[in-house]
Structures are given as structure tokens and as C-alpha cells.
């Protein structure tokens, strides 16, 4: 291996779960219809037998490598010029083993990463995320045929350890495929492809609800984050990986505790069939109303109680139905017609509601007997609320509610615990890995792509980190981490600033979303970074705005100007530069004037829900009626903010309020979902900002 390959090999061969090669394999990203990065050395890697020689041929060149003891190999092709010619990349090994990758283009490759707003597809039917399509989705998909615009879609997966490979697929844009493209990534790539006239490929590795920590390596966070965060991260990962042992320890400890305090399930001393049988004698059972706590059922300190009810399952349900059963904070067993079909024991997480499905041989339409056994250690437990119903598999049919009258019989009543009693063991909870602030998406979805040659990264994430004071720091850790691992220098990293979210409010207040946007702006302290301002792209405050056209185009403008040198483009909205106070008024100066400052006209009404166009429009209330500009607030030394009047004078904005004769600070668009309209003549909105440096509300937590 040549010396130039040393770092790429070191990064690629970090400890991961290995792939045992019984045949010559390429990493999944090297597959039919891929796009290779032009004008840069191209890393290629895969697996074969130990000490096997592998040769890769493409575009008139051939390079070879020898696999290591684990069968891993990597090499680099020399830089290749852009080409729309459909060529074949060939990898060959011993005994004539060969892998061919067909329809390979060379152009621009961009990594597109983030959470749901990057994952959101053109038609809105993202895995686990059905949020509806973008505006004009059908027209966009119909007219999208473009074999020079492609996406590699990485399957949603998470893991606590770095993985060697991922599952993914390359696809051309077209009427049969574009609906599955990241909408943000598609419009970003389409703009680049049209402007640059070369093939463009995006690596769509995004995951709804993911955090910035989810996309950062554990090593980088451990080295550069705060000690308390690192301790929490290590604890979460350890608990997740060792959950089965923690549960086993809990089950043992709980059994000892129950025995010591005479609170065990009497099963073994009493026969459950006496309570659960279809023909059980219920003459001494009493009538109760559900929902109810154990205390309301007569077990103030917990115990074991049986609930029984005759239910009528509609004929149209057939035997295709399930039970919605709420979390009862206790252990439960459910019988249908005398047969047990569900059980929540100490081995299970009892804090979550369940959806048990009786076997089709047991479920039937008509008359059924449903019996539930509850074993709880507290009078607060029980069926106290939440979904409780028979639910048909056919979503068009109505559910059968189960709240109401039931028969009940106490099998065991627990006495109050003495004050000297040991605390009951706490059940371990296995969290949802993909929503934990740990490197789970990085391990399973990003690490396998390193070091695929690319131009840069487009990032749309932040919603999951709103309100967290470390977000800005962790975002910088992520960028530096990626750049180190790809080892291609300070590659471009362009981020989306969060759009407006939630209802508009006209009273000045702390805003966690505004604070998150400010932390995103701080990313510009790093070299070769940029920001697309989306403050005006969500009319109704939806978490998933339908307007992804402007998102992709604005990201592309940032890239075209800063990466591809098209300096004649207006690519940025007005950015606050300086302030001076003159005669009780704040005079603000800006950069990126884009032909001059303008007050963009605001509509008189807005739609309350873009996904429901049939709803009537609502009037748009202005925070500063009579002002040409909206979105400015002002305060004096008391730090009491008020809505301000504002007007444009040349290349400056004048801000004032009769309520604040001696202003000291100004904020603009400082709200979760502000009403604001400062723009430049190029049509790009001004970035939210504040002139003060007072502690933010998230910092004070």
C-alpha cells in the first residue's frame, strides 16, 4: 500500500463489526447507477479472502491492493474528469472472481444528512414518517426524469458500534423513483445539475428525530464534549448494550423484595384457571367502572385483582383484531375465552402501552369473554387511562371501547409497607436507540460511507436539539469529526437554519428555536461553512414545512457561490453587521444587501394547515401594526422587550419605540415562528439576529 493510502486505511479499518468474505465484495455504495466524485482521488474498498490481491479498473486505469488478515482491502483511483458516459467499474480477485458495477457516472457528489426535514421525501412517505408530500409533489415527480441526477438512499438503521457496511441503493431521478428522494436533497441536486451541467449524486443518509450527537462519532464526543455529557452518553450506551443482564438482575432482586414483604403474585398457591375459565363462577365478583386505579378498586396498597367482561366483537371484524391495552404500571396477564394470549412480567417494560393480538384461532366475532389479571405494588397502578379498546385490522371500521363496567375480584390485598422497608427495585428501561443522544446513526448509516469521495455535505437538523445549550458546540464537533475522518481537507459544510415552528405569537418572549438558530449561525466560525436561511418557508408553523423547493435552492445558491465560484449570484440574505444609537433610535447596518434592502409584502391571511387546503384562511396579526417592517423588538437597560417600529433608509434599518426612549439592544425574528419581512431585492430573507450578548434561556438551564 502506498504511503498516501495510510490514513484512509486507518480510518476505514477502525474497529467495526467485520464482514467475513466468502466471495469478492464491494461496499454497498459501489453499486449500479452510482456517481463518482470528479477531479478527486476516488477511494474504493471491500472484502475478499485474507491476503487476496484485488484489482479495480475504471476509466482507463487499474489499481490493486492486498487484503489484510480480516479480508479487508482499499485503494484509490486517480482523479477522474466529469463524464455522463455510462461506464463499468470492475473489481477482480483470485481465480477469476469478478464484480461489475454498471452505469457509473462521474460528477459532483454531496452528502445529505439530517433528521426528518432532510429525510422527508418528495411524496412525504418516508419510512416511519408519513407527513404528506411537498407542494406540487405529483407535478414534480411526473416531470423529474433526469438520468444525470441520482440518489444513494441509505436504509434507516442504528447501532451502538461502528458498522463496516450499510444497506442502500442508487437510483436515477424519474417518475418511478423521485418520490423516494429526499425532497431537500432533490431540489438541491437539481439546481446544481442544471447550473453545472454535470452528473450530480446525493448520498441520502438521514433519519427522522435524530440528534446532532446521533451523527457524531463516540470518539469525538468523548474527546471534545463536556464531562457530564460524556458520562451520560457512556451510561446510556452501557445500559442499552447490557439491558438483558440488567433485566435479569432486576427480576432476581424484585423476587427477593416481594418475598421479603409478602407482595408476590400468589400464583402457585391459587389456580388462575379458577378466575380465567370461560365458565368460572363469578357470583361473588363485584361490578366496578374502568378506568380506575387499584386504590379505587379497593387495593389501596396494591395487590392482585381480576377483571372480567363479556365483549361483543362485530361480525365485520372477523378474527382480525387486536387489543389496545394501556400501561398499567403493574404486571398483567390477559385471557380470551379462558386462554392466555398476553403477559407482561417483570422481564417486560410495563411502562408502555401494549397492542396484543390474540391468535386468529382464538379471536372470533360475536360474544367473547375477556379476563385481565393485574399484579401491582401500589394503589396508584391500574387501568387509569389511555387507549383501551378492541381495534379491527381494517382501519375503516370503528373500534369497540372497553371503558365502562367490569366484574372484579381481589385475589390478594397487600398491606402497607413499613417505613423500614427497602425500596422496591426499579425496572431497567431500554430506551429507543435512534432517539438517544448517542452515536447510533453515525455507526450504522454514516461510518460505512467513509471515505467515499465527495464534494461536501448538506445538513438539515436541529429540531431534536432545540433547548439544549450544547448544540452549537456539538455541531462544531461533528463538522471537525467528519472532516478528520474523510481526510479531504475542510470540505464544504452547508447547513439549513430552522424554519418557523408552532403558532405565531406577537408578544416578545424567550424563544428556544431562535436560540437554536443562533447556535446554527455560530457554525460559520468554522472555515468553508455556509447557512441557508429558512425563516420564511413555513406559513403555518408545521414541523415539516411543505416548501422544500426554496430549501434546496437556497442551499444550492450557497454552494454555487462558495464552492463553485459563481460570485455573480445573490446567495445570501441580509446579515446584521453593526448598530449605533442616535437620539433614541437604533440604526442597523447589514451585509449581503443583494441589490438593496426591502420590506417584503406580508399577506393579509395565512393557511392554518397546508396539509388541509380546505380549511379557511386566518387573518395574519401583525406584532407592530402600522410599521413597514415587522419582526423587530427593542429594549432598554431594564431588559423589558417591546415590539418596535422599523423602516428602511437606504442600506440601513431604523428601529424605535415610544416605550423605549433609551434603547440598548435590538432583536429581529426572535421567536419560534416570527412574523418578519426584511429581505433583499434578490428575494432572500434577512437572518434572525440579536445585538445583545445576554445569557440565553437554554444556557441558564
CA angle 207, 355, 435 (to 5 degrees): 20
- Cα dihedral value 473, 476, 480, 486, nearest 10: 130
pLDDT for 269: 57
Kindly state the average pLDDT of the residues 514-534: 98
The pLDDT confidence band at residue 500, using thresholds 50, 70 and 90, is very high
Write out pLDDT tens, residues 417-475: 999 999 999 999 888 999 999 999 999 999 999 999 999 999 999 999 999 999 999 99
CA distances from 144 to 104, 208, 548, 550 (A): 20, 25, 15, 17
Kindly state the average pLDDT of the residues 541-546: 93
Percent of the chain beyond pLDDT 70? 94
Write out pLDDT tens, residues 638-668: 999 999 999 999 999 999 999 999 999 999 9
632-635 and 642-643 beta bridge pairing:
antiparallel
pLDDT for 249: 96
The pLDDT confidence band at residue 347, using thresholds 50, 70 and 90, is confident
CA distance 474 to 120: 24
Least confident of 212-216, 393-397, 497-501: 393-397
CA distance 49 to 230: 38
Residue linked to cell 427480576: 251
Average pLDDT, the chain: 93
Write out pLDDT tens, residues 272-315: 888 999 899 999 999 999 999 999 999 999 999 999 999 999 99
pLDDT for 205: 98
CATH numbers and ranges of domains, the chain: 3-217+439-465 (2.60.40.10), 262-413 (2.60.120.260), 567-690 (no CATH)
CA angle 589, 594, 596 (to 5 degrees): 60
User: SS3 for 464?
Assistant: helix
User: SS3 for 459?
Assistant: strand
Contact 595, 682 (CB under 8 A): yes
pLDDT for 224: 98
Specify which residues 287 forms β-bridges with: 407
Residue linked to cell 445549550: 469
Specify which residues 286 forms β-bridges with: 408
Cβ contacts of 457 within 8 Å, gap of 6 or more: 110, 111, 112, 113, 482, 491, 492, 493, 494
Reply yes or no on whether the pLDDT at 127 is more than 70: no
Kindly state the average pLDDT of the residues 523-539: 97
Least confident of 15-29, 110-124, 250-264: 15-29
DSSP for residue 192: H
Amino acid at each position: 500500500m502506498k504511503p498516501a493510502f495510510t490514513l484512509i486505511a486507518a480510518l476505514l479499518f477502525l474497529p467495526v463489526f467485520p464482514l467475513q468474505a466468502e466471495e469478492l465484495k464491494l461496499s454497498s455504495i459501489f453499486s449500479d447507477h452510482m456517481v463518482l466524485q470528479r477531479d478527486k482521488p476516488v477511494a474504493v474498498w471491500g472484502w475478499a479472502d485474507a491476503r487476496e490481491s484485488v484489482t479495480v479498473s475504471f476509466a482507463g486505469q487499474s489499481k490493486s491492493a492486498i487484503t489484510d488478515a480480516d479480508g479487508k482491502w482499499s485503494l484509490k483511483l486517480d482523479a477522474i474528469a466529469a463524464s455522463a458516459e455510462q461506464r463499468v467499474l470492475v473489481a477482480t480477485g483470485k481465480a477469476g472472481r469478478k464484480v461489475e458495477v454498471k452505469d457509473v457516472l462521474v460528477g459532483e457528489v454531496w452528502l445529505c444528512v439530517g433528521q426528518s426535514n432532510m429525510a422527508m421525501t418528495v411524496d412525504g412517505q418516508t419510512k416511519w414518517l408519513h407527513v404528506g408530500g411537498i407542494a406540487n409533489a405529483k407535478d414534480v415527480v411526473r416531470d423529474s426524469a433526469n438520468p444525470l441526477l441520482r440518489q444513494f438512499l441509505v436504509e434507516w438503521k442504528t447501532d451502538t458500534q461502528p458498522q463496516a457496511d450499510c444497506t442502500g441503493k442508487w437510483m436515477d431521478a424519474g417518475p418511478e423513483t423521485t418520490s423516494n428522494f429526499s425532497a431537500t436533497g432533490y431540489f438541491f441536486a437539481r439546481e446544481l445539475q442544471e447550473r453545472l451541467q454535470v452528473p450530480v449524486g446525493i448520498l441520502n443518509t438521514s433519519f427522522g428525530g435524530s440528534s446532532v450527537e446521533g451523527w457524531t462519532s463516540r470518539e469525538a464526543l468523548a474527546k471534545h464534549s463536556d464531562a457530564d455529557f460524556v458520562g451520560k452518553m457512556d451510561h446510556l450506551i452501557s445500559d442499552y448494550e447490557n439491558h438483558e443482564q440488567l433485566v435479569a438482575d432486576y427480576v432476581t432482586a424484585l423476587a427477593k423484595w416481594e418475598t421479603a414483604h409478602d407482595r408476590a403474585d400468589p400464583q402457585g398457591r391459587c389456580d388462575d384457571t379458577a378466575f380465567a375459565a370461560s365458565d368460572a363462577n363469578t357470583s361473588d365478583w363485584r361490578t366496578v367502572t374502568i378506568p380506575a386505579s387499584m386504590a379505587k378498586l379497593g387495593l389501596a396498597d396494591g395487590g392482585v385483582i381480576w377483571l372480567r367482561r363479556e365483549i361483543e366483537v362485530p361480525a365485520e371484524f372477523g378474527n382480525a383484531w387486536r387489543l389496545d391495552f394501556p400501561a398499567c404500571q403493574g404486571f398483567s396477564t390477559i385471557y380470551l375465552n379462558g386462554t392466555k394470549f398476553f403477559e407482561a412480567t417483570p422481564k417486560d417494560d410495563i411502562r408502555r402501552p401494549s397492542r396484543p393480538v390474540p391468535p386468529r384461532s382464538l379471536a372470533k366475532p360475536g360474544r367473547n369473554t375477556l379476563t385481565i389479571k393485574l399484579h401491582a405494588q401500589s394503589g396508584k397502578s391500574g387501568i387509569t387511562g389511555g387507549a383501551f379498546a378492541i381495534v379491527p385490522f381494517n382501519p375503516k371500521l370503528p373500534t369497540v371501547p372497553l371503558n365502562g363496567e367490569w366484574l372484579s375480584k381481589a385475589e390478594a390485598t397487600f398491606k402497607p409497607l413499613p417505613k423500614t422497608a427497602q425500596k422496591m427495585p426499579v425496572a431497567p428501561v431500554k430506551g429507543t436507540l435512534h432517539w438517544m443522544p448517542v452515536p447510533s446513526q453515525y455507526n450504522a448509516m454514516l461510518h460505512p460511507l467513509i471515505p467515499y469521495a465527495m464534494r461536501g455535505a448538506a445538513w438539515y437538523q436541529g429540531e431534536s436539539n432545540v433547548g439544549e445549550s450544547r448544540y452549537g458546540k456539538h455541531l462544531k464537533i461533528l463538522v471537525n469529526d467528519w472532516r478528520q475522518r474523510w481526510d479531504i481537507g475542510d470540505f464544504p459544510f452547508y447547513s439549513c437554519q430552522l424554519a418557523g415552528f408552532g403558532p405565531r405569537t406577537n408578544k416578545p418572549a424567550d424563544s428556544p428555536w431562535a436560540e437554536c438558530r443562533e447556535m446554527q449561525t455560530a457554525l460559520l466560525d468554522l472555515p468553508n461553512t455556509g447557512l441557508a436561511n429558512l425563516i420564511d418557508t413555513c406559513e403555518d408553523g408545521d414541523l415539516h414545512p411543505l416548501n422544500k423547493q426554496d430549501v434546496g435552492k437556497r442551499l444550492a445558491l450557497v454552494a454555487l457561490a462558495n464552492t463553485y465560484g459563481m460570485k455573480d449570484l445573490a446567495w445570501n440574505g441580509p446579515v446584521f453587521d453593526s448598530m449605533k444609537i442616535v437620539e433614541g433610535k437604533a440604526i442597523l447596518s447589514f451585509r449581503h444587501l443583494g441589490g438593496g434592502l426591502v420590506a417584503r409584502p406580508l399577506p393579509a391571511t395565512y393557511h392554518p394547515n397546508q396539509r388541509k387546503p380546505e380549511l379557511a384562511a386566518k387573518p395574519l396579526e401583525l406584532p407592530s401594526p402600522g410599521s413597514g417592517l415587522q419582526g423587530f423588538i427593542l429594549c432598554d437597560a431594564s431588559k423589558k422587550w417591546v415590539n418596535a417600529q422599523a423602516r428602511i433608509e437606504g442600506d440601513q434599518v431604523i428601529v424605535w419605540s415610544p416605550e423605549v426612549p433609551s434603547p440598548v439592544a435590538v432583536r429581529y425574528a426572535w421567536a419560534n415562528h416570527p412574523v418578519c419581512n426584511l429581505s433583499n431585492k434578490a428575494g432572500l430573507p434577512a437572518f434572525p439576529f440579536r445585538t445583545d450578548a445576554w445569557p440565553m434561556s437554554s444556557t441558564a438551564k
